[in-house]
Structure 1
Amino acid sequence: MKKPKILVVIEYIGENGNSTAYYWSQIIKKLNINYHVVLISPENKESLKFSKLYNVDSRLVKVGEHNKNSLISRLLGQIKQTKAFIYEIKKEVNNCQLVFTGTNPIVTMVFLSFFKKIKKFKWLVLVHDIFPNNLVPAGFIKKGSLLYKILNYFSFLLYSSPDRLISIGRDMTLLLEEKIKKGNVVFIPNWASTDKNKPENKNKNEIILNLGWEDYIVFQFFGNMGRLQGLPNLMKAIKSVNNEKARFLFIGSGSEASYIKTIIKEINIECNYEKAFFYGYLDLNKNNMGLNACDVSFVSLAEKMYGLGVPSKAYFSMAVGKPLLYIGDENSELDILLSEYDIGWKCKPGYSDKLALLIDNITDEYICSSMNKNPRKLLIDNFSEDIILGRIEDVVISTI
């Protein structure tokens, strides 16, 4: 019997890429069991490897490099990429049962919203961020400006075009429903693999041993160091932490990496000991080692990020059994999660003094007693890969 055909159009793919690429890789592997998946994505080492390894019918397009930290360069790069996508989409869309995409690149989503009026195909979108709202905390545009109002009206038309939207946060769901005024949004949270991400003894961790931090309480920032992570607030708080048993480790890369290195140098000179350390980029095959190199995992977002994103690092940290210290807006997805379950602590962004005091108290709590928080069990019971992928497939079935 011929399998229903699903056209998946995405910017990132590959199990050794970023978290978005990883998530899409697992979704495609799941769908490829019962459906004929046709993947349209940029051609690179990871996409070629993934397509070959899992026998995915792929249309990989050649696209040029662009600077993701420059709005103009990123826009031009997305336009070129979308042109390449369009050529392949037009060839495949007539005989497919569903087009499944993300929200990036936004230019591709714009094209599909117009193209859908002509071809009338079924369209499912996995939402990782919301345009133009995501431009506000990034500092590209001011909320309430004329340009924002124009783009916001345009985005109403854009997000109303798909047949279904999958939201990764309850705050994001509310924001989308406010924007499009129709009930086609389904909330399905992020997840993490408990097979690939496993707890390890911190005091046997290579990074911790090299630093000589076995007897300290280590707080770690892991992953993307971008402008939306609220890093100035976090660094200001670390400067004010008084407990000399607290240590701070930064693993990852991004546009704010140079800033972090500069502030860490200032912090260490000021306190006259190695209070913080910048490890930098970690090979992807060592992610489990990196995630386990701490007692507490920082998950930080800038102010005004309500509804605009749910950091995947929270779920990967939960998978290795690390409690979370979340810095983010009230009633955001992780704020709600930490209110529901005893898996960590939280603090509003912009309150560096309160955050510093909280870190001091958490350090004392660790020293005085063993932690009884169990984030890994919570993840296994509620956010495991099998559970969430099953829910995504259910939405695919109902949309077709």
Structure 2
Amino acid sequence: MTDSEKEYVLVTEYFHPDTASTGQLLTDLAVGLQERGLDVTVYTGQPNYHSGANERQPRISTYRNVLVKRIRAPQLRQSSLPRRLFNWGTFTVWMFFALLVSSSENEREFVFVSNPPMLPIAMWAVSKIRGWEYTYIVYDLYPDQPVELGYIKRGGLVERVWSALQRYTFCDAEHVVALGPVMKERITRNAGPEFDPEKIEIIHNWADEEFIEPIEKEDNWFSREHDLVEPFTILYSGNIAHFHDLETVVRAVARLDDLNVRLLVIGEGDNKENVVELAARLGVKGGAVRFLSYQDWDDLPYSLTSGDVSLVTVREGFEGVCVSSKLYTSMAAGEPILCIAQPYDDEARIVRQADAGIQAAQGDVDAVADAIRAWHDDPDLVEQQGQNAREAFEENFTTDRSIDAYYRLLTDTNSDHGGPRQKSHTGEARTAGTDGREA
């Protein structure tokens, strides 16, 4: 049977026009695989992330030649954890039964992502019942994430049962995609001794190299409009969740009152209020530390390149649990990266190998302050590490490079699929942060 006779069913909670980074990435993947000759059908939900929540979509539609089928159940706008839990449960249950009774003239292969948290287990069950092969893309590792956040008890009954089901999901997969070597190591440990690590393929996430390109601050209208040209600016753009350590950077900037330094935080999230309160308590809110809401999609090429240094931060304990999508957009922007992570984490390894920034541990205010001062006092270092970031991005993390890797994985081929392909971004007006997701 040829690849054109197989239907690849891509299951994702988010898809165009949703603004979550998972939706953007999975839209790129579906369109890219379709352009490479595969028959892709997307099963997804109604938009519910930020501005996308206002755009009700038809139950069946076509986007860039990809067939899109959406659940009819209500989806709430993702403004709180209870709403997210409702959406996750509704989407997972609905998708289980919809796929369980679905039919196709062609052989099917599932491709699904790790979010919502219980979706992989539901898709594993459907695959077992229907006899379908599947590829499991791990963006966030469960139950590790809620355990590290303290939402469920480490070693408790919920974790033990959830982990056991996840082991089945890993072991029965045709392919497992990890976002980095540390994530691969953690998946291998979690999956148990019966799991074959050779199933794991490391395929990094990506950014659009033509949509995001380096721009000098003096030539950037966003930098001028928000008074970022003169101050040495550290930029964070994306979701402000509890597993993003922004507090360390706020404290470091507050110590540097002898320098013209600014931290600009763009985005929303469950932890934003705490970060804003900390900045106010330290007397830097509205001065050295400023906050903006999500920016329009068409403004992202300018907002993401408006600073001198980009901030990528993860919580301690999240090594191998996720790889921040902000890493790829930050490298595309051609700015040095202030990486708040453990030195052996996937993000830190990439930054270090490319000489594209400086890593500091979570909570190490002195190290972060020293890094900012070093960049502030050495413009040549900023320029060189920014160039290194962009070069490493172009060599490793472009859209076509990653989607070619998925194509080779799914079709078991060793060469890229030739032929002209369109870019996957839409250019439509929407609202988003750097990536809009919780990692």
CA distance in 1, matches of 2:154, 2:32: 39
1:395 aligns with 2:409: yes
Residues 369 and 61 (structure 1), Cα distance of their counterparts in 2 relative to 1, 3 Å cut: closer
Which residue number in structure 1 is paired with residue 377 of structure 2?
A: 364
CA distance in 1, matches of 2:257, 2:113: 44
How big is the shift at 1:71? Answer: 5.5
**Mind listing any 5+ residue stretches in structure 2 that lack a counterpart?**
48-54, 414-439
Which residue number in structure 2 is paired with residue 192 of structure 1?
A: 207
Compute the RMSD of aligned alpha carbons: 2.5
Check conservation: 2:304, 2:333, Cα contact below 8 A: yes
Check conservation: 1:318, 1:376, Cα contact below 8 A: yes
CA distance in 2, matches of 1:124, 1:80: 22
**Letter of the aligned partner of 2:34 in structure 1?**
N
**Letter of the aligned partner of 2:71 in structure 1?**
V
Q: How does 1:318-329 map to 2 (within 5 A)?
A: 318-329=331-342
1:352 aligns with 2:362: no
Residues 283 and 389 (structure 1), Cα distance of their counterparts in 2 relative to 1, 3 Å cut: same
Check conservation: 2:340, 2:362, Cα contact below 8 A: yes
Deviation per CA, 1:360-386: give whole Å up to 9, x if none. 2221123x7662121112111121111
How big is the shift at 1:277? Answer: 1.1
Deviation per CA, 1:138-159: give whole Å up to 9, x if none. 2212434454334323322233
1:39 alignment partner, one of 32, 42, 46: 42
1:182 alignment partner, one of 179, 196, 201: 196
Residues 158 and 53 (structure 1), Cα distance of their counterparts in 2 relative to 1, 3 Å cut: closer
Q: Secondary structure of 1:229's partner?
A: coil
1:340 aligns with 2:342: no
Residues 51 and 126 (structure 1), Cα distance of their counterparts in 2 relative to 1, 3 Å cut: farther
CA distance in 2, matches of 1:218, 1:74: 33
Residues 119 and 370 (structure 1), Cα distance of their counterparts in 2 relative to 1, 3 Å cut: closer
Identity %: 20
2:245 alignment partner, one of 224, 230, 247: 230
Residues 17 and 369 (structure 1), Cα distance of their counterparts in 2 relative to 1, 3 Å cut: closer
Which residue number in structure 2 is paired with residue 54 of structure 1?
A: 64
Which residue number in structure 1 is paired with residue 391 of structure 2?
A: 377
Residues 275 and 132 (structure 1), Cα distance of their counterparts in 2 relative to 1, 3 Å cut: same
1:114 aligns with 2:117: no
CA distance in 2, matches of 1:199, 1:393: 29
Q: Secondary structure of 1:304's partner?
A: coil
**Mind listing any 5+ residue stretches in structure 1 that lack a counterpart?**
none
Q: Secondary structure of 1:38's partner?
A: strand
Q: Secondary structure of 1:248's partner?
A: strand
1:274 alignment partner, one of 278, 283, 287: 287
Deviation per CA, 1:253-311: give whole Å up to 9, x if none. 111222222233334459xx821211222112211111011000000111101001111
CA distance in 1, matches of 2:182, 2:61: 34
Q: Secondary structure of 1:97's partner?
A: strand
How does the TM-score come out when normalised to structure 1? 0.91
CA distance in 2, matches of 1:323, 1:369: 9
CA distance in 2, matches of 1:134, 1:69: 20
Which residue number in structure 2 is paired with residue 164 of structure 1?
A: 175
Check conservation: 1:13, 1:47, Cα contact below 8 A: no
Residues 235 and 355 (structure 1), Cα distance of their counterparts in 2 relative to 1, 3 Å cut: same
**Letter of the aligned partner of 1:388 in structure 2?**
S
Which residue number in structure 1 is paired with residue 224 of structure 2?
A: 209
Q: Secondary structure of 2:148's partner?
A: coil
CA distance in 2, matches of 1:25, 1:345: 32
**Letter of the aligned partner of 1:97 in structure 2?**
R
CA distance in 2, matches of 1:286, 1:296: 18
Which residue number in structure 1 is paired with residue 425 of structure 2?
A: none
Check conservation: 2:340, 2:360, Cα contact below 8 A: yes
Higher helix share: 1
Which residue number in structure 1 is paired with residue 73 of structure 2?
A: 63
Q: Secondary structure of 1:310's partner?
A: coil
1:240 aligns with 2:251: no
How does the TM-score come out when normalised to structure 2? 0.83
